[in-house]
Every structure is written in C-alpha cells, then in structure tokens.
Amino acid sequence: MTDRELPLPHIASGKVRDIYELDDKHLLFVTSDRMSAFDVVMAEPIPDKGRVLTALTAFWLEQLADVATNHLVSLEVPVAAGDAPYLEGRVMVVRKASMLPIECIVRGYLSGSAWAEYQKTGTMHGQPLPQGLRQSEQLPEPVFTPSTKADTGHDENISFEAAASLAGEALATEARRISLAAYQRAADLAAARGIIIADTKFELGVIDGRLCICDEVLTPDSSRFWPADGWEAGSTPPSFDKQPLRDWLEGTGWDKTPPPPTLPPDVVVATRTRYVEAYERLTGRRFADWPGVGPRGRAS
C-alpha cells in the first residue's frame, strides 16, 4: 500500500499505524503495510500486512469480549474517510482512550529480551527466576512484565513496582489482571490449534472510567507465535511473527540504526506468508475472504 493522507485531521503516525480524528469521541486507525524491526521502519512494505493485523485484532477482540471491554466501534470505512479502496480491511473506528504510560507484556516462555536478561543475571524484569532454565522454556506460570513506552529509541523493561509508579497502583494492578487473563484465554485457544503464544504485548487505556483493551491485539507484530510441533526448550523455534525478518537482519551485520538494509524479495514474500498463515491457523478462517484482499483492495 502507498501511505497517503485522508480528508480528516491527522493526529499521529507510528511505525505502522496512522491515526485520524473522526469526532470528539472517535478516532480512525489505519494500519499500513509498513514493517518495523529493532524500532526502525523498513523501506519495503509487506503486502497486506496491515489487513492481517486488523483481521487478527478483530478476531481476538471477539474472543476476549468477556475478559475486558475494548475500544473497537466498527471495521467499516467511514464516509468521512472518502472512497479509498486501499482502506478496505485495514481500518478500525475506535473510541478515544486515555492510554496507560506502560506496555503491558505477558510472557509464558523465556525468549527475546527476557532470555538475554536471564542469561546475564538470572532475572526477568529484575525478578529472580528458577536456576537452570533454557532458552524458549515454558515459565512456571505466565508473568506480567511491563515496559516503558519510549517516544524514541527502545522501550525499557521495568518491574511491576516501577509500572505502578508510572500508571498508579490501582490501574497497574488492573492492567496486570486483564493482561494475564487475556493471555491465558488466547494461549489456550492457540494451543488447541497447534500454536504457542510465547509472549505478547497489550495496550490498555481508560474509557469512561474503565480500563479497556486498545490498539492491536495478539498479532505477529505484538507477539511471538511458535508452531507447537516445532518447539523444543533450549532452541529458537520457527515462528509466525517477524522473528525470521529479525534473524535475516541480524545476519547482515546491520547496526540497527537507519537506514536499514534493503529487504530482498524472498524475505518480503516469506514474511507475508508467515503473517497470513498465523491468521488462518489461529482463526480457522481464509484470509482471502477478508475485505480488501482481492483486486479492488489493491487498487491505487
């Protein structure tokens, strides 16, 4: 997709999403095909990536409706956005929320930055873990491991106490409860479909006095998805997320500062394939049936 402005007030653009104001209570989220890794946006988009993220988020919000309220109002392209076929399947009309100043991460397996910390100190987000754990090993129970939200650079892993000082004790406690419950519900559903959710990141915000699930939910951008039949403690399993892209980037010797290396076509295709497979395996639905995936959705 080619990023473009809409006939609406532009609020912000992140690595992947563009946010517009619809009215005093609602925003329009447009999920692009931009791909970021190591906090740097790649020059090459991943075709239909934005639609996969939107479709998966919509699916998970359905599954988690009784765990917590969410901000989603509609998946239809609003009239105010104009007649833009490329928007089909990649927009969410959402209620405005007062977002928490923390990332709500839940880890069920020891991987990523948590594994790196454990190797050095035997801790995860500053909290001691049992000795002798191996890479990718399942933790005794899922753990809420928050981080800061960095405007620039990398987020910083923090303790629950530090999160409480940023968000307030009551909100941090409720965020932990919602995040752990949502992770467990999703992990159980995914396990029944042969997928392990190693970890995931939730965004939570307050709407009308209630803490709600917002933004993307349990997507390949915000989670590590592993095939259960490919998992073995002590190794890095194959994944349905952006990890293969990260691994390719690591192999180039790139120093993780802009500009990033040019992604070869096979890496772009492989990344799209993994995202689509994650959607289809988790939901049991055909991605080809999602709005905008056909020829009209590809119109410029």
Lowest mean pLDDT among 9-18, 63-72, 153-162, 163-172: 153-162
| Domain positions in the chain | 98-243
Residue 2 has pLDDT above 60, yes or no: no
Give the mean model confidence (pLDDT) for residues 54-81: 97
264 or 4, which is more confident:
264
The predicted-structure confidence for 152-164, as pLDDT tens digits, reads as follows: 656 789 999 999 9
The predicted-structure confidence for 265-274, as pLDDT tens digits, reads as follows: 999 999 999 9
Share of the chain above pLDDT 70, in %: 95
Model confidence at 298, pLDDT cuts 50, 70, 90, reads very low
pLDDT of 152 reads 60
36-37 vs 40-41, strand pairing mode: antiparallel
Q: How far apart are CA 213 and CA 47, in angstroms?
A: 27
Residue 1 has pLDDT above 80, yes or no: no
72-74 vs 91-95, strand pairing mode: antiparallel
Give the mean model confidence (pLDDT) for residues 76-94: 93
Model confidence at 141, pLDDT cuts 50, 70, 90, reads very high
Assigned architecture for domain 98-243? 2-Layer Sandwich (3.30)
The predicted-structure confidence for 111-122, as pLDDT tens digits, reads as follows: 999 999 999 999
pLDDT of 4 reads 61
Residue 86 has pLDDT above 80, yes or no: yes
Residue 146 has pLDDT above 80, yes or no: yes
160-167 vs 169-192: helix axis angle to the nearest 10? 120
Lowest mean pLDDT among 1-5, 65-69, 92-96, 191-195: 1-5
Structure tokens at 133: 């754990």
Give the mean model confidence (pLDDT) for residues 208-221: 97
Q: How far apart are CA 277 and CA 255, in angstroms?
A: 30
Mean pLDDT (the chain, rounded):
93
Residue 12 has pLDDT above 60, yes or no: yes
**Nearest 5 degrees, angle CA 158-CA 107-CA 231?**
145
Give the mean model confidence (pLDDT) for residues 13-25: 95
Contact 110, 199 (CB under 8 A): no
pLDDT of 179 reads 98
The string of DSSP letters for 30-53 reads EE-S--EETTEE-SS--TTHHHHH
Share of the chain above pLDDT 90, in %: 85
Give the mean model confidence (pLDDT) for residues 186-202: 97
